[in-house]
Amino acid sequence: MNIAIIGGSGFVGKNLINKLLPSEYITSIINIDKNVNSSHPSLTYQGNVLDVESLKQHLKGIDIVILLAAEHRDDVTPTSLYYDVNVQGMRNTLIAMEVNNVKRIVFTSSVAVYGLDKANPDESFPADPFNHYGISKWQAEQVLQEWYKDHEDWNINIIRPTVIFGEGNRGNVYNLLNQIASGKFMMIGKGNNQKSMSYIGNIVAFIQFLVENVKSGYNIYNYVDKPDFTTNDLVYHTGQILGTNIPAVKIPYALGMLGGYCFDVLAFLTRKKLSISSVRVKKFCAVTKYDSTKAMSSGFVPPYTMEEGLRRMLNAEFGK
Let me know if 133 is a catalytic residue: yes
Q: Which contacts of 16-22 are long-range, i.e. CB under 8 A and separated by 24 or more positions?
A: 16/66, 16/68, 16/204, 16/207, 16/208, 17/43, 18/204, 19/204, 19/205, 19/207, 19/208, 20/204, 20/208, 20/211
Q: Which contacts of 176-182 are long-range, i.e. CB under 8 A and separated by 24 or more positions?
A: 176/234, 176/284, 177/234, 177/238, 177/313, 177/314, 177/317, 177/318, 178/317, 178/318, 180/234, 180/235, 180/238, 180/239, 180/246, 180/248, 181/238, 181/242, 181/244, 181/246, 181/314, 181/318
Give 265-278 as a 3 state SS string: HHHHHHCCCCCCCH
Longest CA span, the chain = 58
Beta-carbon contacts of 109 under 8 Å, excluding residues fewer than 6 positions away, are 137, 138, 140, 141, 158, 159, 160
Q: Are strands 104-108 and 64-67 parallel, antiparallel or unpaired?
A: parallel
Query: Which listed residue (82, 114, 133, 174) is catalytic?
Result: 133
Q: Which of 165, 160, 305 is nearest to 225 (CA)?
A: 305
Catalytically active residues are: 133
